[in-house]
Amino acid sequence: MKRFLIAGTIIVAIIIFFGLAGQADPDYLKDMGVSMPLPLFTVFIAIIDGFNPCTMWVLTFLLVLLISVSESRKRIFSVGFTFVVVVYVFYFLFMSAWLNVFFYIGFLDPVRIGIGLLALLAGAINCKEFFAFRKGVTLMIQEKHKNPLVRRIESMKNVIKNGSFPALIVASVTLAAFASLVELPCTAGFPIIYTKILAEKVFAESVGYYMYLAFYNLVYVLPLSFIILLFGYFFKGKQISKKHMQIIKVIGGLIMIFLGIVLLFNPGLLMLV
């Protein structure tokens, strides 16, 4: 009964938002001062994207394992922040690639419609996880990739406990690089939407686009950095649970659906100042 109530609430919220987004006049809202600056929009999307259950699952699994074999705060921070730096670099390169794709193909309506439909589809799949976790079509880490990832993490036990710091850093970089590649289907939605919107902005210098990407990724890794600090200073914590993953997925899915509706039916609302 509870799930039916939640599903009904989600459907009603989408219908209401669809009605409001379709009727809103971008020029009127702008004249009223109701427009979101691009830096604030960047923070909003990046922080939502940052609560990514796939990346959080890998990181917390790694930290729980680390704490079980070592109480060295130095090692916790070394492994954790090495992981974050590698994730930052991979995500930045991934978003840079999409930015250049949009520069190349231009700002045609079919592109906007395609991204809007992609956002609706990805959002719906993410919302589905709340009701049918990992069943059917999913953007979560696939089981065929999850088991090798778990084995790679567990293979680090000896390095974590007895290995030198250079060996520990190399192992952390390798693990983070592998995890970043495996997680791409889980994380692709928001970066594609954001880079599409960013590509439509006009900056005096092209470096401005990459500064926004760097800023986006800095905000993106803040939740991961906070988790590392909690583990490092309190030496306790649990791997992110299925329930937490479902909540994060449904919230992110809804926001993705809302953005998809705006892109499809009233893109002028995203002409950020």
Q: What is the pTM of this model?
A: 0.77
Structural domains of the chain, count: 1
Read off the pLDDT band of 237 (50, 70, 90).
Answer: low
What is the pLDDT at residue 273?
46
What is the pLDDT at residue 28?
47
Query: What percent of the chain has pLDDT above 70?
Result: 73
Going from the C-alpha of 34 to that of each of 46, 196, 200, 261, 273, the distances in angstroms are 21, 22, 20, 19, 10
What is the pLDDT at residue 143?
64
Q: Which residues of 231-250 are buried (b: 16+ CB within 10 A; e: fewer)?
A: bbeeeeeeebeeebbbebbb
Degrees, nearest 5: CA angle 227-233-235: 85
Phi/psi of residue 96, nearest 5 degrees? -65, -40
Is the pLDDT assigned to residue 267 strictly greater than 70?
A: yes
What is the pLDDT at residue 15?
77
Is the pLDDT assigned to residue 120 strictly greater than 80?
A: yes
What is the pLDDT at residue 33?
46
Average pLDDT for residues 78-105, to the nearest whole number? 88
Residue ranges of alpha helices (H) inside the chain are: 2-23, 26-31, 38-50, 53-69, 73-105, 109-128, 143-154, 157-162, 165-187, 189-199, 207-220, 222-234, 242-265
Choose the weakest-confidence range: 21-25, 36-40, 156-160, 240-244.
Answer: 21-25
At 24 the three-state DSSP class reads coil
What is the pLDDT at residue 239?
58
Read off the pLDDT band of 216 (50, 70, 90).
Answer: very high
Quick one: tokens of 154? 């567990």
What is the pLDDT at residue 88?
93
Average pLDDT for residues 200-209, to the nearest whole number? 82
Name the CA dihedral angle for 13, 16, 18, 22, rounded to a multiple of 10 degrees: -150
**pLDDT (tens digit per residue) in 9-53:** 777 777 776 666 666 655 544 544 446 788 888 998 898 888 877
More confident position, 218 or 19: 218
What is the pLDDT at residue 107?
62
Residue 39: which domain range? 2-270
What is the pLDDT at residue 32?
47
CA pair distance 235, 69, nearest whole angstrom: 12
Average pLDDT for residues 199-228, to the nearest whole number? 88
Is the pLDDT assigned to residue 156 strictly greater than 90?
A: no
